[in-house]
């Protein structure tokens, strides 16, 4: 017998989803892998996972305790109000929400109406993805900035931080823009009296679909030694309490927040720390009277 004819190499399977009209061509192209997953999912697993995740739920905070309390996340296309008084940890939560949104491959814009956000506090977000901070000249211009940012449709999350409550006309327009662009708009109103937030007696009237209240622990933890061998102290971690006042079952979550140690206080393994221990008597002295 002669040598067998050279067999043609098998054609590579066409990556396609089940149900595509491949049978019409008379080709028995397998559309799924051996484990039943579509070939498209095999080719782009991470991207498809992100898409499915993005469609399924709102935005997550990236904090396990808080995400467990908010299973649907921060709603897209709606206004979410964050009632967090000054120093209560509202900015921390907003930056955590921004970080989780950036990791989900969506852009974030933050309108810092008070122009007081320290850039080092948000510098880690700028390297994750499209994160832009808008710092208007005046408080009242923050709503116009948010309007312009929402109209671009480029952001999955727009945050307006530390601003006076919007009037109804502005709130309605922003809510419509957020709905049209499928963008989550989070508003943190400044100067909210703490007792009203704690009791929930004065809910925001600007059409927020979800209202979260942040209650810092009164009194607070003290200070702990920053470094061994150095008498300097540094604020200890504290626990915030986040309560859902509207937009879901009333739940509360506790979030532990630490204060980062500045780089200048961090020891280096190769450099001996020459700072003298802090003396107990180095208290601020009264100004000497002349």
Partner 1 sequence: MLRSAPTGAPSARRGNSVPAATPAAAGGTRDEDPVVAVADVRGKLRVVATGSVARARGIADGMALTEAQALAANLVALPWDDERIARAALEVTTALLAASPRVAWSGTHGRTDARTHGEGVWWIDAAGLGNEAKLAAKLVTIAAGLGFGSARAGIAGSAIAAYAATFGGTKTRQRGGTVIRPRIVPPGADARYLAPFPVTLLDLDDDLAGTLRGLGLTTLGGLAALDADEVEARFGPEGLAAHRLARGLDSRGPTAPRDDALPTVEVELGGPVATAEPLLFVLRGALASLGETLHTRGLAARELALALRLDDGSTAVRPIRPARPTSHPDALFDHCRLALETWQLPEPATGLVLSAVVTVPASGEQGDLLAPRWADPAALLAAFERIRGSEGADAVALPEKRDGHLPADQGAWVPEPRDGRVIGRCSPAAPPSGEMAVAALRILSAPVSVHVRLGRSGLAAFRHDDLWHDVAAWCGPERLAPRWWQAAAASATETAGPRDYYTARTADGTLWLLRRDDPSHEWFVEGWWD
What is the footprint of partner 1 within residues 185-224 (CB under 8 A)?
194, 216-220, 222-223
Among 29, 39, 67, 117, binds partner 1 (CB under 8 A): 117
- Is residue 89 near partner 1 by the rule CB under 8 A? yes
Tokens representing residue 145 in the block: 């900035």
- Is residue 154 near partner 1 by the rule CB under 8 A? yes
Among 95, 171, 184, 210, binds partner 1 (CB under 8 A): 95
Of residues 237-256, which lie at the interface with partner 1 (CB under 8 A)? 237-238, 255-256
User: Is residue 208 within 8 Å of 79, Cβ to Cβ?
Assistant: yes
Q: Which string of x and - marks every residue 51-80 that binds partner 1 (by CB under 8 A)? A: x--x-------xx-----------------
What burial letters (b/e) apply to 177-198, b meaning 16+ CB within 10 Å? bbeebebbbbbbbbebebeebe
Shortest approach of partner 1 to residue 23 CB, angstroms? 26
Nearer to partner 1, 17 or 205 (CB): 17
Of residues 14-43, which lie at the interface with partner 1 (CB under 8 A)? none
Residues with Cβ within 8 Å of 222's Cβ and at least 6 positions away in sequence, in order, are 236
Among 30, 37, 68, 116, binds partner 1 (CB under 8 A): 116
- Is residue 290 near partner 1 by the rule CB under 8 A? no
User: Is residue 182 within 8 Å of 77, Cβ to Cβ?
Assistant: yes
| Gyration radius of the chain's alpha carbons | 27
Beta strands 230-235 and 223-227, pairing class: antiparallel
Residue with tokens 């945050």: 159
Nearer to partner 1, 112 or 210 (CB): 112
User: Is residue 253 within 8 Å of 226, Cβ to Cβ?
Assistant: no
Shortest approach of partner 1 to residue 100 CB, angstroms? 8
- Is residue 184 near partner 1 by the rule CB under 8 A? no
**Secondary structure class of 5 (helix, strand, coil):** coil
Among 57, 135, 139, 179, binds partner 1 (CB under 8 A): 135
User: Is residue 125 within 8 Å of 173, Cβ to Cβ?
Assistant: no
Burial class (CB in 10 A: 0-12, 13-18, 19+), 65: middle
Among 69, 93, 159, 178, binds partner 1 (CB under 8 A): 93
DSSP-derived secondary structure letter, 189: E
Shortest approach of partner 1 to residue 1 CB, angstroms? 53
- Is residue 277 near partner 1 by the rule CB under 8 A? no
Shortest approach of partner 1 to residue 180 CB, angstroms? 13
């Amino acid at each position: 017998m002669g040598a067998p004819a050279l067999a043609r190499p098998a054609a590579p399977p066409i990556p396609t989803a089940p149900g595509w009209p491949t049978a019409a061509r008379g080709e028995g192209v397998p559309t799924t892998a051996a484990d039943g997953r579509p070939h498209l999912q095999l080719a782009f697993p991470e991207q498809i996972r992100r898409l499915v995740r993005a469609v399924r739920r709102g935005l997550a905070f990236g904090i396990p305790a808080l995400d467990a309390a908010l299973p649907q996340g921060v709603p897209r296309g709606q206004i979410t109000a964050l009632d967090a008084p000054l120093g209560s940890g509202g900015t921390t939560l907003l930056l955590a929400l921004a970080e989780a949104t950036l990791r989900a491959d969506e852009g974030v814009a933050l309108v810092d109406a008070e122009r007081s956000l320290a850039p080092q506090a948000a510098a880690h977000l700028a390297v994750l993805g499209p994160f832009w901070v808008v710092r208007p000249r005046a408080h009242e211009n923050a709503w116009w900035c948010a309007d312009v940012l929402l109209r671009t449709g480029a952001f999955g999350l727009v945050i307006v931080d530390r601003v006076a409550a919007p009037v109804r006309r502005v709130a309605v327009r922003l809510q419509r823009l957020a709905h049209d662009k499928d963008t989550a708009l989070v508003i943190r109103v400044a100067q909210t009296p703490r007792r009203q937030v704690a009791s929930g007696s004065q809910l925001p009237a600007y059409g927020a679909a979800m209202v979260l209240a942040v209650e810092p622990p009164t009194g607070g933890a003290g200070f702990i030694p920053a470094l061994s061998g150095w008498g300097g102290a540094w604020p200890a971690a504290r626990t915030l309490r986040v309560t859902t006042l509207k937009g879901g079952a009333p739940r509360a979550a506790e979030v532990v927040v630490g204060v980062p140690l500045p780089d200048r206080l961090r020891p280096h393994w190769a450099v001996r720390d020459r700072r003298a221990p802090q003396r107990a008597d180095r208290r601020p002295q009264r100004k000497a009277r002349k």
